[in-house]
Chain A
Amino acid sequence: MSTATAMMPFGDISSLEQRIEELEKQGKNAPDSNAISMVVFSGDLDKLLAAFVIATGAAACGMNVSMFFTFWATAGLKKSGPQAKGKTVVEKMFGWMLPGGFHKRKLSQMDMMGMGRLLMNREMSKKQVPSLSELIQIAEDLEVNIDVCEMSMSLMGIKPEELIDYPNMNYCGVARFIEQSSSSNTTLFI
Chain B
Amino acid sequence: MTTEVSEERKIDLTGLKCPMPIVQLNKLMKELVGGDQFTAVADDPAFCLDVEAWCNKTGHELVRLDNSENQLVAVIKKKD
Q: Footprint of B on A, CB under 8 Å?
A: 53, 56-57, 59-63, 127-130, 138, 142
Is B38 an interface position by the 8 A CB rule? no
The listed residue (A57, A62, A127) touching B19 by CB distance below 8 A is A57
Query: Given A53-B18, A57-B18, A127-B17, is A62 in contact with B58 using a C-beta cutoff of 8 Å?
Result: yes
| Distance between Cα atoms of A61 and B54 in the complex (Å) | 6
Interface size class of B (residues with CB under 8 A): 10 to 19
A sample of 19 more A-B contacts (CB under 8 A), given A130-B19, A138-B23, is A53-B19, A56-B23, A57-B18, A57-B23, A59-B26, A60-B19, A60-B22, A60-B54, A61-B53, A61-B54, A61-B57, A61-B58, A62-B26, A62-B57, A63-B57, A128-B15, A128-B20, A130-B17, A130-B20
Contacts of A62 in B (CB 8 A): 26, 57-58
Is B75 an interface position by the 8 A CB rule? no
Give chain A nearest CB distance to B36 CB in angstroms: 17
| Distance between Cα atoms of A62 and B55 in the complex (Å) | 11
Q: Footprint of A on B, CB under 8 Å?
A: 15-20, 22-23, 25-26, 53-54, 57-58
| Distance between Cα atoms of A67 and B78 in the complex (Å) | 29
The DSSP consensus for interface residues of chain B is helix
The 9 A-B residue pairs with the shortest CB-CB distance, nearest first, are A57-B19, A60-B26, A61-B57, A60-B22, A60-B23, A129-B17, A62-B58, A128-B15, A56-B19
Contacts of A61 in B (CB 8 A): 22, 26, 53-54, 57-58
Interface CB pairs A-B, < 8 A, 30: A53-B18, A56-B19, A56-B23, A57-B22, A57-B23, A60-B19, A60-B22, A60-B23, A60-B25, A60-B26, A60-B54, A61-B22, A61-B26, A61-B57, A61-B58, A62-B26, A62-B57, A62-B58, A63-B57, A127-B17, A128-B15, A128-B16, A128-B17, A128-B20, A129-B17, A130-B17, A130-B19, A130-B20, A138-B23, A142-B26
